[in-house]
Amino acid sequence: MTNQLKVLVTGGAGYIGSHAVLALKDAGHSPVVIDNLVTGFRWAIPDDVPFIEGNIADEALVAATLRDHGIDAIMHFAGSIIVPESVENPLKYYRNNTAASRSLIDSAVQAGVKHFIFSSTAATYGIPESSPVREDMPKLPINPYGMSKLMTEYMLRDVAAAHDFNYCALRYFNVAGADPLVRTGQSTAGATHLIKVAVEAALGKRDSVAVFGTDYATLDGTGVRDYIHVSDLAAAHVIALEALVADPKTSHTLNCGYGHGYSVMQVLDAVDRVTNQTIDRKIEGRRAGDPDELISDNREIKARFGWQPKYDDLDTIVSHALQWERKLGERALV
């Protein structure tokens, strides 16, 4: 067991960040959160976790936070994540994701913080030549979101070569579900993730679910994606953190997914099963840039870290998402 670590979690009031905070606490570490609350929620952070409201590009604020809390490592989740928005407003993404990350990495180096875990994405691959996708396949992002994240990966690589610093970049596939103990979940209004949208529809928060394209080269014609439970993803971050500390000379860039996928229709069928009702499905045209399937090759993360997912079951992911959506509905009534 690694000694207790003090970890700055950027974007710790958001969906994945808030699960990482819980995973750190559950593993005996001490998280400190910085978040500008643009898309995060103050109530998503436990009362005993120090919270700083602010922007990671505010170097004076970050320097003070790193110093005052004796931070050992950074988990970096803060950023913008909507792919179509990145196409419409690329400069926002290069500011919020790339430039702000550069500032944060600089702050870490200046403060002597030696370990950095980065929330990256399968969007760095663009449209892969084959599936499952291996880490060594070409990185050819087709949108500013994917490019903004890839540029940050390159910055981390170069900084690790120049300084006493190591990192782990985790390339997420489709993150879904919520904390099994219903402590946090995906809470942002207008979310675009399929399982979130589908459970909202099941609870009457939406009239229907759009299915974008039914002519893909897949079993039922709808796009196939690798859905990973957010708590398994958060656990991977804690394991990565402990690996960086145990071997400070080694950095990692790894896929985070289950290595198999489900089609849009299979996901909607699962929501129907779990809720014992039928969601209205609206068939629409394909979205530009959506590959037929996007599945991770996850052998590397399992081999390097011994990561073993606990929630690799579609109905479990859906039921946890549904539990959280119901709790959100109760919160809105208070």
pLDDT at 334: 46
Query: Does the bond joining 132 to the residue before it have cis omega, within 30 degrees of 0?
Result: yes
Q: How far, CA to CA in Å, does 87 sit from each of 77, 97, 194, 245? A: 21, 14, 20, 37
- Does 6-175+226-256 match 194-225+260-294+311-333 in CATH topology? no
What count of residues does the chain have? 334
Give residue-wise pLDDT tens across range 235-294: 999 999 999 999 999 999 999 999 999 999 999 999 999 999 999 999 999 988 888 999
Tell me if 118 sits within 8 A of 77, measured CB to CB.
no
Q: How far, CA to CA in Å, does 270 sit from each of 50, 163, 210, 266, 278? A: 38, 48, 16, 6, 10
Collapsing DSSP to helix, strand or coil, 198 comes out as helix
And the tokens for 111? Answer: 């403060």
Percent of the chain topping pLDDT 90:
93
pLDDT at 3: 83
And the tokens for 191? Answer: 């979310």
* Topology (CATH) of 6-175+226-256: Rossmann fold (3.40.50)
Strand order in the sheet with 224-225: 262-263, 224-225, 293-294
- The vertex-117 CA angle with 11 and 60, nearest 5°, equals 55
DSSP state of 289: T
Give the domain ranges of the chain: 6-175+226-256, 194-225+260-294+311-333
pLDDT in tens, the chain (334 residues): 568 999 999 999 999 999 999 999 999 999 999 999 999 999 999 999 999 999 999 999 999 999 999 999 999 999 999 888 999 999 999 999 999 999 999 999 999 999 999 999 999 999 998 999 999 999 999 999 999 999 999 999 999 999 999 999 999 999 999 999 999 999 998 888 999 999 999 999 999 999 999 999 999 999 999 999 999 999 999 999 999 999 999 999 999 999 999 999 999 999 999 999 999 999 999 988 888 999 999 999 999 999 999 999 999 999 999 999 999 988 765 4
Q: Given the residues 15, 145, 172, 227, select the one marked as catalytic.
A: 145
d(CA 47, CA 49): 6
CATH superfamily of 194-225+260-294+311-333: UDP-galactose 4-epimerase, domain 1 (3.90.25.10)
d(CA 172, CA 76): 13
Give residue-wise pLDDT tens across range 234-245: 999 999 999 999
Q: Is 227 annotated as catalytic?
A: no
